[in-house]
Structure 1
Amino acid sequence: MAKVFGRRLILLAAGRTADGGGGFRRGWDARGGLWAEVRMRSGGLAHDEFGRAPRLRLRITTHGLPVGHPMRPAPGDRLQDGARLFEVEAVHDGERRHLVILASEVPDGEGAR
């Protein structure tokens, strides 16, 4: 069955920006866009310091990219879909034509760019 890559996600990588006082601040740098198919993997409630928060896990499929390519997602990167952010947990390229990305949604308040 053919994959339908109907969602454009922005790949964000952790970066450092000068804070103007001689130090640095962590931020997220956009590397570019990826067309992908996004499917829900699981969902539930996770416990955090404020009680229980919804947790959504996703399976994202995109075109295959070789290891070392600057547009290939890696664990720790983020994918942005409008106002939603997903943290990349793992990347698998078993089919070679496609990358399978396992990700979880970043809760509100943790996604500042």
Structure 2
Amino acid sequence: MAAVVHLNRKLVLEEAKRVSDGAGGYVETWVRLGTLWASIRSGSGSTTSEAFLTLSKVAMKIIVRAAPVGSQRRPKPGQRFIEGGRVFTILAVSETDALGHYLTCTAREEVTS
């Protein structure tokens, strides 16, 4: 019997787009693709310090409803989820269950202090 998935977090899915800066270069901006309900499970974390800056990284498993390959609603590595001021960078995406009802996004949350 499959585990019950509680999609109780509302996340915004974003993708990076290059936009001309008018001087022959470009600026990277984030474009909203949609809102997905998700379940978030935190994993282990690590902290590094460099020159008055501390960076904390936490591994996350984010589960969302599946969408067909090629759909704008299907997360991909390199995209990110936003929840308020929190940012979750998507590292990998795989099917969670044998029937393909859910996707597991391996993500990383980084916080500087």
> TM-score, normalized by length of structure 2?
0.84
Alpha-carbon shift at residue 49 of structure 1 (Å): 4.2
Aligned-residue sequence identity (percent) comes to 32
Alpha-carbon shift at residue 92 of structure 1 (Å): 0.4
Question: Quick one: structure 1 residues 48 and 66, their matched pair in 2 at CA, closer, same or farther if it must change by over 3 Å?
Answer: farther
Aligned residue among 96, 100, 103 for 1:99: 103
> TM-score, normalized by length of structure 1?
0.84
Q: What amino acid does structure 2 have at the position aligned with 1:77?
A: Q
Q: Identify unmatched segments of 5+ residues in structure 1.
A: none
Question: Quick one: structure 1 residues 53 and 108, their matched pair in 2 at CA, closer, same or farther if it must change by over 3 Å?
Answer: closer
Give distance in 1, aligned partners of 2:6 and 2:29.
31
The correspondence of residues 6-45 of structure 1 with structure 2, limited to 5 A, is 6-45=8-47
Q: Which stretch shows the higher mean deviation, 19-28 or 86-95?
A: 19-28
- Count of matched residue pairs: 108
SS in 2 for 1:106: strand
Alpha-carbon shift at residue 106 of structure 1 (Å): 3.1
Larger Rg: 2
Q: Identify unmatched segments of 5+ residues in structure 2.
A: none
